[in-house]
Amino acid sequence: MVILLASIAVLDLILTLLVLIAILKIAKLESLFRKSEGHKSPKLSKNFEKKVEVEVEKLIAAAGRRIDAKLSEYFQTLVDDATKKGTELAAFAEKQQGVIVKETQFLVARDIAKLQEDLQKYRADQMARIDQEVHQMVSDIAKQVLGKAIDVSTHEDLVKAALERAKKENILENAKH
C-alpha cells in the first residue's frame, strides 16, 4: 500500500513537470508570437494558437498514456505481490493448521489413553472389591451353615483326619529328636 501511494506521488510529480514544461513551451511560443505580432495578420495568429493547442493536447495525452502505463505496471506489481503474499499466507495457514491438528491429535490421544488407563484401574479395583465382598459373603454363609450342621461325632472325625494329614505332612515331627 505504501509503495502504491509513493508511486502515485511520483506520477503526480512527473505530470506536474510535464504540465510545467508544456506551459513553458506555450509561454515561449506566445513570446515569439508577440514579437512577430506587429508583422503578422490576425488570421495567422489564430492558426498559430490552434497549432499550440494541438501540441499541448498531444503532450498532455502522451503524458497521460505514460502515467496510465506506469499505473497499470504498478497495479500489476501490487496484484502480483498480493497474490504471492496470499499464496504464502495460505501455505503458512495450511502448515499451521497441520501442526495444530497433529498437536491436537496427540493431546486427544494422550488424554484418551490416560482416561482408558484410569478406567481400567477403576474397573479392576471395583472388581477386586466386589470379588472380595462376594468371597466374604459366601465364606460367612458357608461357615454359618456348616458350623451349625456338624455334630460332635463328625467334629471328632474331622479332627482325627486333620491329625493324620498333619502326620503325613511332617508337621508333627518332634524337634527334639
Partner 1 sequence: MQNTESQKVSFKSLVDSIFTANQLTRIQDDIRTISAMAFKIGAGSLSSQIKPKVGPSMYLYILSLEKENRLPAAASLGHFLSELAGFLDGIDKITLTLAFEPSVDFQKEIALWLEKNLGTKVVCDFAVAEGIIGGLVIEYHGKYKDYSKAAEIESQIRRV
166 binds partner 1 (CB under 8 A): yes
Q: Least distance in Å: CB of 128 to partner 1?
A: 13
Residue 26 and residue 56 in contact, taking contact as beta carbons nearer than 8 Å: yes
Q: How far is it, in rounded angstroms, from Cα 11 to Cα 15?
A: 6
Q: Least distance in Å: CB of 124 to partner 1?
A: 17
121 binds partner 1 (CB under 8 A): no
> What is the per-residue binding string for partner 1 in 127-146, x denoting contact by CB under 8 A?
--------x--xx--xx--x
Residue 36 and residue 55 in contact, taking contact as beta carbons nearer than 8 Å: no
Residue with smaller CB distance to partner 1, 43 or 148: 148
Residue with smaller CB distance to partner 1, 114 or 143: 143
For cell 502522451, the residue is 62
Interaction with partner 1 in 146-165: which residues (CB under 8 A)?
Answer: 146-147, 150, 152, 154-156, 158-163, 165
Residue with smaller CB distance to partner 1, 57 or 156: 156
Other CB atoms within 10 Å distance of the CB of residue 31 = 10
Half-sphere exposure of 152 (CA within 13 A, CB side): 0
Q: How far is it, in rounded angstroms, from Cα 88 to Cα 169?
A: 86
What does residue 51 show for φ and ψ, rounded to 5 degrees? Answer: -60, -40
Q: Give me the residues that bind partner 1 (CB under 8 A), please.
A: 135, 138-139, 142-143, 146-147, 150, 152, 154-156, 158-163, 165-167, 169, 171-172, 174-177
